[in-house]
Amino acid sequence: MNRLKPIAVAAEALRAVTDPQHRWIAVCMGTGCSSAASAELRQALAAELAQHQQGVEVRRTGCFGFCAQGPIVVVYPDETFYTRVRPEDAAAIVVQHIVHGRPVEALLFREGPDKHPAPKWHDISFYRKQQRILLSNCGIIDPENIQHYLAREGYQALVKALDTMTPEQVIEEVTRSGLRGRGGGGFPAGVKWGLARQTPRWPKYVICNADEGDPGAFMDRSVLEGDPHSVIEGMIIAGYAIGAEQGFIYCRAEYPLAIKRLRTAIAQARELGLLGENILGSGFRFDITINEGAGAFVCGEETALMASIQGERGQPWPRPPYPVVAGLWGQPSNVNNVKTYAYVPRILRFGADWFRSLGTEGSAGTAVFALTGQVERTGLIEVPMGITLREIIFDIGGGIPGGKRFKAVQTGGPLGGCLPEAYLDTPVDFDSLRAAGAVMGSGGMIVADETTCMVEFARYFMRFVCDESCGKCPPCRIGSRRLLEILDRIAAGQGEPADIEAIHHLADGMQKGSLCALGQLAPAPVLSALRHFEEEFWAHIREQRCPTASCQKLVRAPCVSACPAGVDVPAYLALVAQGRYAEALAVHREANPFAAICGRVCPAFCEDVCKRGGVDDPIAIRHVKRFMADHEYTVPWTPPRLAPKKDIKVAIVGAGPCGLTAALRLAQLGYQVTVFERMPQPGGMMTYGIPAYRLPREVLFAEIEHIRRAGVEIRCNTELGRDITIKSLQADGYAAIVLALGAHRSRRLGVPGEDLPGVYHGVALLRDIALGKLPDLRGQVVVVVGGGDTAMDAARSAWRLGAQAVHVVYRRTRDEMPAIPEEVRGAEDEGVQFHFLVTPVAVLGQDRVTGVLLQRQRLGDFDKSGRRSPVPIPGSEFVMPCDLLVPAIGQVTWVDDEAVALSRQASFRVGKAFELGIPGVFAAGDAVTGPATVVQAVAHGNQVALVVDHWLKTGELGGVYYRPKRHDIPQLFNLDDYAEARRPAPRVLSPEERRHLPGFVEIELGYDERTIQEECKRCLRCDLEWLQRIGEPLP
Amino acid sequence: MAGLTIGFLRRACETERTEHEVSPMPTLTINGQRVVAPEGATILEAARAAGIAIPTLCHHPDLSNVGACRMCVVTVEKARGLQTACTTPVAEGMVVHTHSADAVATRRFVLEMLLSDHPNACMTCEVNGACELQDLVYEYGVAWPQHKGSRHTYPVDPDPNPFIVIDRNKCILCGRCVRACAEIQNRDIWSFAFRGFETKLVAGADQPLLEAGCESCGQCVAYCPTGALFDRMSVGKGRIGQVTRVRTVCSYCGVGCQIDLHVRRDGGRGRIVRVTGAADAPVNGLALCVKGRYGYDYVHSPERLTRPLVRAKWLDPDELAQRVGDNRWSVIGDADKRRSPVTGHDSPISPDTFIAVDWDTALDVVARKLAAEKAAHGGDSFAMLASAKCTNEENFLFAKFARQLMTTNNIDHCARL
């Protein structure tokens, strides 16, 4: 029997909020959508409705969380979800949807590869894995109308508490629910309340911490703006439980809308007797005051917050005594976060067991996150505790935009930690995150993709801490400054090896010595970045290189940074522009001896990042390279000797791009170098993997000849493990041995029947073609399995060998194919047919292949590589008849030598100095990295040569870094004249021409001298801008 | 609320709590030693009472505790992280280690940090040898930090205050000046402005001290652990090893503040170069007012009166001639007149010339004239103004003198005005 005065709920509100048939339009009026003109939109909708005499309510609601897609409009009861709605769209919504009942397709949210529109709110994958408990009223009720809150059973928990529960029972219920503080600390709320109740001094205070200061986080704001009464109700219940009569909401002044809605809500609650004297006739008295904070992040720390309420400088004071004993004005005070209070009414209404049933053992309930950074769908989300980071980032957030890879996620805001890919399956709850080295924090979640420099990432957060440190205690005040200074220097390329130790020392001192959580946790982002990405810090310090090319002072030009070999691209472009081709080529060869080869087959990482690409098209860098190499074709190059001749013998095993480059560099340094090659010709995969239509043989062998001219001896037909062994080489007096064996063994499909005749691995096919053993494929149907470059080369070669039809089957979609896009396009032009989302499950045939059994796939969750993994669709199998099945799904290294067998899995595991654990034996290239590109192998060759040289001289492993020389070439013309110039159109033979030419003729054509010179002049000369940035004179 | 800081309030509250809860004196263990401390005492108080040293910088027994400097951190078993001994209340069964590895490392770190933003100027610093920071750096063996980061370069002596010199570069932001000003002098002139590394000690709204309402009592200087605040009159006059402290009582008023005169003797002649309050004095401790602390320059003034002076016309002419003649009295005034031989005839002494006489003569003159005035015009022709510089006993005698001898109620006291 309810002894209290019941609260009247207006019938109209009841219908508006609870009637499932009620037709109304929700317009988000959170801060995000408001700043995108949702107020005007609301007016426009109301005007249109009036004009069409539609008695449909347009309601202001709280935040839907999908702010990047705002303003958001939802039409009920069908829950049609409109995004990016502008005031002009009001007419369409009213006329089409309200009057004629047809949703406005153009305004629906679209997602997925086919951009399929999602008609309803809960169809959108952003919402599918969410569980909106705390935000359940956001998007439904009008936050400025207390009747709406009442109609959603608002204040029923208060009635229940006052009427049927003692304060102790309330505390018991909250404790039993397992509710932990949502401000980040995770302290059990019920336990805190109990302590506050126990302190025998009055008055006591209930304080709501709404000083949400994390950059990019707006969880508390959304709750305050969308459902202010839930916070007020939670505070009143807390007041009843601990015996307080006064509440304070400390809200930052930067949240004017939240403050306005809170004031409205408090006034409405007072009017209904829910605040003030004798609440609902219970005799209990409670009221709430709002304090506006001035925007200091540290005031989110409870003691600093209370100091601020007292009118003092917002600085924390030490605990104990804890606020529950001596807080505001020295009185017992209970401080909780906005969300913690907002959960309380729901817990009392539905029971502690219900709340416990959500989330995990140690972390009950849901968590609200602000998902930001480099993720496809950003916004505010509420998820059950225990969901994995992967689910949040990839399923809800939609993964990383622009096809980039995931790198790290920072949880817990600027005081949290970052977690790399390996931690993506960590459950999101207080204890799991802490165990992983990050924290729950108040709920910021910032995603970084592969282009993010972790030094810069850490520096960003440290700069924030420096700005926000209150200055009270020396560890934080000075320590954070010293940490930032070190990070600044590292980012500017002025770091020193001792800096890493200094960071640890400062971090340790700050963690142990700082007064409050701000200083104690401030080093966490730096430490976690160091823990997971230490190599990146070392690259900045030792090599003055920013691996992601984002540290301004270290990036001379994006193209140079992007090139694995660090070729000085702007220098040779500038030289070619002036017609100084020989000098340009010399610059190139300093870092990469294979200009003509790379001019044809390089994937040109440089062009992907070219600044001019942001203006119109990137410079055709690869073509410039090809032109200058071809122009000097007739001039044989004798690589310069850089050090006197030495009487030391070095063996290189494998004459691929890595081995040859290493041999060249060591020969230039004066060593006696012999290269051992098992095949009849040198070149490795350049010879036996890349078909001649992409790389003509005379170009290839001419450049290999240059290596010989440096004094390198190349012994072909000599195989490791058969003709020579590590031991025999050592016995022959080779002081150092570099294994550059490549990755030549094709991966097996792992399905029945793959040993039948007619299964012809892509690597073997390409090798046989290079050896002149051309199979006759006329009239045959060829099925190639795989989506990489080898698959493309195999398919296009098969087509050239006269195959009747060539099919490529790939288990993912086109977007996930690792092959160079031009190659895919080339294959398509030649009539190769692609079949996506299929994978072979059996090779069919009795004595030889007659077909392949394929199974359809669908894309499931994201896997470790950040791509969606294919999931088989049972029962979708079908047969594709074929005469030849060409698996090309990757290669591994293989060697049969007793000395190295143990240190090898699919590829060699080497140390930082390429060492294998056997003194004097090193490994590099594809044998270490797995199948990669020519330029990556060249880069490895340069590096391993340097390491071997250093080891031979000093006996030390590592500590030397390959740093290409820089050439400052003057700018001799006015760049403005080339503002309108465009990249020349590609010149390739048409498929018809290709069909009619015999054999494997090169299909890509170069450009003439004039075109190339003009093209070079389009270069924006980032290198000169960099000179100005670091304060050096222009050439 | 002026002057009532949160620290004060919280201490007050804790006292209140002691009244509520009747609990026995908690027993705790510090460094293996059993220590009994009163309820509400801090670990620091308990340790120091037991003779166990814990270093501090921002703590001062006269001031509230803020736990800012982190020097007093100690390990308390079962507590998370280090605790500041100056703020953590003792509890029954608490086990404290004042010199755990973490605590010592943290103190060293704090000192390293402070030094990393401190001028390397001990050679020229006024408080060299009397600097708490210097002592701790020495004790903990912290090396001068080599780093490429920034140090503050505030202007030295930017404030025109005639008594206080500021060098913010030496400031460690311990806040003792802030609390001394607020809690002892109740002025609230000092506070901190800006945040983080840019945090700066400011007067008022970053104004000159006097504009901010400073009354130049110098309490802030007295509590400064480094050379950031110093007495302007003492700059360059002598450092701690060059002076002798002489304990005396301030002569300015009857409160009876004890002061230490810092006396520097060079070749026998002593000079007062600085005055400080006496920490162990029951009346004032370190506190003094502007006069007591800075009003000592009269001591060495050539114009200072050291003997009673009487105008020639009030003295007996014969006695005057005789005493001046045998140099027992001397003529104060124009140098030319003093150079002339005093013969009795053609005297250079005018009736108004001051003559330095002995005390008996002077008092005789006063007594004679007061008696004459009273006889001629009655007691109410006389009024007396007593001085705050005198003791209560002296003032009592004044009152008695006026009322009983002079038979008048015309007596007042300067402190009443």
Please, are residues A840 and A856 in contact by the beta-carbon 8 Å criterion? no
CA distance B285 to chain A (A): 27
Are A485 and B149 an interchain contact pair (Cβ–Cβ within 8 Å)? yes
| Separation of CA B108 from chain center | 31
pLDDT value, residue B10: 47
Bridge partners of residue A647, in order along the sequence = none
User: What angle, rounded to 10 degrees, do the helices at A228-242 and A189-198 form?
Assistant: 40
Q: What is the pLDDT of residues A920-948, one digit of tens each?
A: 999 999 999 888 999 999 999 999 999 99
Q: Could you give the CA distance from residue B224 to residue B133 in angstroms, rounded to a whole number?
A: 10
Give the C-alpha separation, A251 to A231, whole Å.
12
Q: Tell me if A643 is assigned to some domain.
A: no
Antiparallel, parallel or unpaired: β A884-887 and A734-739: unpaired
Which residue in A628, A622, A564 sits closest to A598, CA to CA? A622
**Does one domain contain both A948 and A843?**
no
Helices (H) and strands (E) in chain B, counts: 11, 17
What six digits make up the tokens of A595?
């200009």
> Is A537 a domain residue?
yes
- The yes-or-no verdict on residue A372 having pLDDT over 50 is yes
Same domain, A411 and A462: yes
Rounded CA gap, A698 and A951, in Å? 36
Residues of chain A in Cβ contact (below 8 Å) with chain B? 200-201, 296, 307, 310-313, 315, 317-318, 320-321, 326, 329-331, 466-482, 485-486, 489, 505, 508-509, 512-515, 520
Instruction: Report, as an integer, the average pLDDT of A361-377.
Output: 93
Q: Which residues of B touch A470 (CB under 8 A)?
A: 195-196, 199
Closest by alpha carbon to A691, among A1005, A935, A1002, A1006? A1002
Last residue of a domain, one of A303, A324, A357: A357
* Structural domain span for residue A46: 11-128
Q: Does A987 or A3 have the greater pLDDT score?
A: A987
Taking an 8 Å cut-off on Cβ atoms, the answer to whether A330 and B6 are in contact is: yes
Residues 6+ apart with CB under 8 A from A79: A120, A121, A122
Which residue in B5, B6, B76 has the most chain A C-beta atoms within 10 A of its own C-beta, making it the best mutation to test that interface? B6
Could you tell me where the beta strands, DSSP code E, fall in A320-378? 333-337, 366-373
Nearest beta carbon to residue A513 from set B66, B89, B110: B110
Instruction: Tell whether B145 lies on the interface with A, counting CB pairs under 8 A.
Output: no
Give contacts of A327 with chain B, Cβ < 8 Å: none
pLDDT at A897: 78
* Residue of B111, B113, B226 best to disrupt the A interface, most CBs of A under 10 A: B113
pLDDT tens column, A292-302: 998 899 999 99
Type of residue found at A735: A
Q: List, in sequence order, every beta strand (DSSP E) within B107-217.
A: 164-166, 190-193, 200-203
The confidence score (pLDDT) of residue A988 equals 85
User: Is there a single domain that holds both residue A606 and residue A661?
Assistant: no
Same domain, A163 and A215: yes
What percent helix, strand, coil does chain B show, rounded to 5?
A: 35, 20, 50
Over residues A44-56, the mean pLDDT reads 90
Question: What is the model's pLDDT at position A902?
Answer: 57
Q: What is the pLDDT of residue A866?
A: 59
* Residue A922 · residue A665 · CB < 8 Å: no
Nearest beta carbon to residue B113 from set A310, A479, A520: A479
Average pLDDT on A871-885 reads 93
Note whether residue A1034 is domain-resident. Answer: no
Instruction: Based on the fold, state whether residues A115 and A167 are members of the same structural domain.
Output: no
CATH of the domain at A35: 3.40.30.10
User: What was the pLDDT predicted at A991?
Assistant: 81
Summarize pLDDT for B378-398 with one digit per residue, the tens. 999 999 999 887 888 899 999
- Residue written as tokens 């990393």? B116
Asked if the Cβ–Cβ distance from B148 to A485 is below 8 Å, we say yes
Does position A987 have pLDDT exceeding 90, yes or no? no
d(CA A874, CA A862): 20
Percent above pLDDT 70 for chain A: 98
pLDDT recorded at residue B336:
46
Flag if A470 and B116 touch (Cβ within 8 Å).
no
Q: What is the pLDDT of residue B13?
A: 47
Token pair listed for B69:
């400097």
**Please, are residues A836 and A817 in contact by the beta-carbon 8 Å criterion?**
no
Residues of B in contact with A313 (CB under 8 A): 191-192
- Amino acid A407: pLDDT: 94
Query: Does any domain span residue A133?
Result: no
Minimal Cβ distance to B69: which of A311, A474, A505: A474
Burial class from Cβ neighbours inside 10 Å (0-12, 13-18, 19+) for residue A905 reads exposed
Peptide bond into A320 cis (omega under 30): yes
Beta-carbon separation of A513 and B66 below 8 A: no
Encode A826-838: b = buried (16+ Cβ within 10 Å), e = exposed.
Answer: bbeebebebebbb
Report phi then psi at A782, rounded to 5: -115, 135
Burial class (CB in 10 A: 0-12, 13-18, 19+), A700: buried
Chain B nearest-CA distance from A481, in A, is 7
- Alpha-carbon gap, residue A347 to A365, rounded angstroms: 10
| Range ranked top by mean pLDDT from A10-19, A81-90, A115-124, B323-332 | A81-90
Residue at B371: amino acid letter: A
**What local confidence, expressed as pLDDT, does residue A443 receive?**
81
How many structural domains compose chain A? 6
Nearest CA in chain B to A463: B196
Q: Which two tokens stand for residue A520?
A: 């104690």
Is residue A4, in this structure, part of any structural domain at all?
Answer: no
- The answer to whether residue A1032 is domain-embedded is no
Q: How far is B126 from chain A (nearest CA, A)?
A: 24
**Cβ–Cβ gap B89/A331 under 8 Å:** no
- Tell me, yes or no, whether A962 lies in a domain: no
Hey, of A201, A302, A505, A512, which one would you mutate to test binding to chain B, going by the most B CBs within 10 A of its CB?
A512
* Contact present, A1000 and A800 (Cβ < 8 Å): yes
Alpha helices for A165-274 (secondary structure H)? 167-177, 189-198, 219-226, 228-242, 256-271
Mean pLDDT (whole number) for A834-843: 94
B117 touches chain A (CB under 8 A): yes
Give the model confidence (pLDDT) of A433-492 as tens digits: 988 888 888 788 999 998 899 999 999 999 999 999 999 999 999 999 999 999 999 999
Asked whether residue A869 falls in the same domain as residue A739, the answer is: no
In sequence order, which residues have a C-beta less than 8 Å from that of residue A791 and are 6 or more positions away? A762, A784, A785, A808, A810, A819, A886, A888, A889
- pLDDT above 90 covers a percentage of chain A that reads 73
pLDDT at B120: 93
Q: Does B14 touch chain A (CB under 8 A)?
A: yes
Does residue A336 share a domain with residue A442? Answer: no
SS3 content of chain A, % helix, strand, coil (to 5): 40, 15, 40
Mutate to test the interface with A, among B17, B70, B136 (most CBs of A within 10 A): B70
Q: Return the pLDDT at B339.
A: 45
pLDDT category at A620 given cuts 50, 70, 90 is very high
Higher-pLDDT residue of A180, A633: A180
**Residue A903 banded pLDDT, cuts 50, 70, 90:** low
Q: How many beta-carbon pairs below 8 A join chains A and B?
A: 140
Same domain, A102 and A205: no
A720: amino acid identity, one letter? L
Alpha-carbon distance of A416 to A944, in angstroms, equals 38
Question: What pLDDT is recorded for position B15?
Answer: 47
- Judged on CB neighbours under 10 Å (0-12, 13-18, 19+), A202 is exposed
Q: Are residues A448 and A597 in the same domain?
A: no
Tell me the two tokens of residue B92: 């029954």
pLDDT at residue A552 is higher than 80: yes
Residue A993 has pLDDT above 70, yes or no: yes
Cross-chain CB nearest to B102 (options A321, A466, A512): A512
Among A187, A324, A477, A486, the residue to mutate for chain B (most B Cβ within 10 A)? A477
Q: Residue A375 corresponds to which amino acid?
A: V
Residues forming CATH 3.30.70.20 domain(s) in chain B? 123-128+148-300
- Tokens representing B173? 């932001």
Residue A611 in 3-state DSSP? coil
Tokens of A239: 């007041």
User: Is any Cβ of chain A less than 8 angstroms from the Cβ of B251?
Assistant: no
Residues A911 and A931 both lie in one domain: yes
CA A122, CA B109: separation in Å to the nearest integer? 54
Neighbours of A620 (CB within 10 A): 22
Contact A513 B195 (CB under 8 A): no
A313 within 8 A of A307, measured Cβ to Cβ: yes
pLDDT for A273: 93
Q: What residues have CB less than 8 Å from A293, skipping those under 6 apart?
A: A211, A250, A251, A252, A253, A299, A305, A308, A314
Distance in Å, alpha carbon of B148 to nearest chain A alpha carbon? 8
Contact state of A317 with B84 under an 8 Å Cβ cutoff: no
Question: Is residue A642 domain-resident?
Answer: no
Query: Domain with A939 in it: what CATH number?
Result: 3.50.50.60
Q: Are A606 and A559 in contact (CB under 8 A)?
A: yes
Interface contact B15, partner A, CB < 8 A: no
> Where are the alpha helices (H) located in A632-677, listed in sequence order?
657-668
Task: Transcribe A500-537 into DSSP letters.
Answer: HHHHHHHHHHHHHH-SSHHHHHTTHHHHHHHHHHHHHH
Q: What is the CATH number of the domain that holds A992?
A: 1.10.1060.10
Residues A304 and A187 in one domain: yes
- Its pTM stands at 0.82
Torsion angle, CA of A158/A163/A168/A171, rounded to 10 degrees? -20
Quick one: pLDDT at residue B333?
Answer: 67
Report the greatest alpha carbon distance in chain B: 97
CATH 3.10.20.740, chain B: domain bounds: 24-114
CATH fold of B123-128+148-300, please? Alpha-Beta Plaits (3.30.70)
Q: What is the CATH number of domain B24-114?
A: 3.10.20.740
Instruction: Please confirm whether the linkage preceding A321 is cis (ω < 30° from 0).
Output: yes
pLDDT at A236 > cutoff 70: yes
Instruction: Residue A320: list chain B partners with CB under 8 A.
Output: 83, 88-89
In the prediction, which pLDDT does B19 show? 46
Q: Do B6 and A478 touch (CB under 8 A)?
A: no
For position A864, what pLDDT does the model report?
57
Q: Which of A214, A225, A227 is nearest to A443 (CA)?
A: A214
- How far apart (Å, rounded) are the C-alpha atoms in residues A908 and A923? 7
On whether any CB of chain A is under 8 Å from the CB of B151, the answer is no
Write the single-letter amino acid at A533. Answer: F
Report the residue from A312, A313, A477 with minimal CB separation from B196.
A477
Taking the Cβ of residue B9 and every Cβ of chain A, the question of whether any pair is shorter than 8 Å is answered with yes
Are A266 and A306 part of one and the same domain? yes
What residue in A sits closest to B86 (Cα-Cα)? Answer: A318
Whole-number pLDDT of residue A832: 94
Residue B84 identity (one-letter amino acid) = T
Who among B70, B150, B192 is closest to A313 (CB)?
Answer: B192
**Which amino acid is present at A675?**
V
- Chain B residues lying within 8 Å of A482, measured CB to CB: 113, 116, 147, 149
Nearest to A176 by CA among A358, A373, A363, A356: A356
pLDDT score for B12? 47
pLDDT means per 10 residues, chain B with 417 residues, are 43 47 79 93 96 96 96 95 95 96 97 96 95 97 89 96 97 97 96 96 96 96 97 95 93 88 86 95 93 92 88 90 87 56 57 91 94 94 88 91 95 80
Q: State whether residue B84 sits within 8 Å of chain A by CB.
A: yes
Nearest CA in chain B to A322: B88
**B window 260-289, beta carbon within 8 A of A:** none
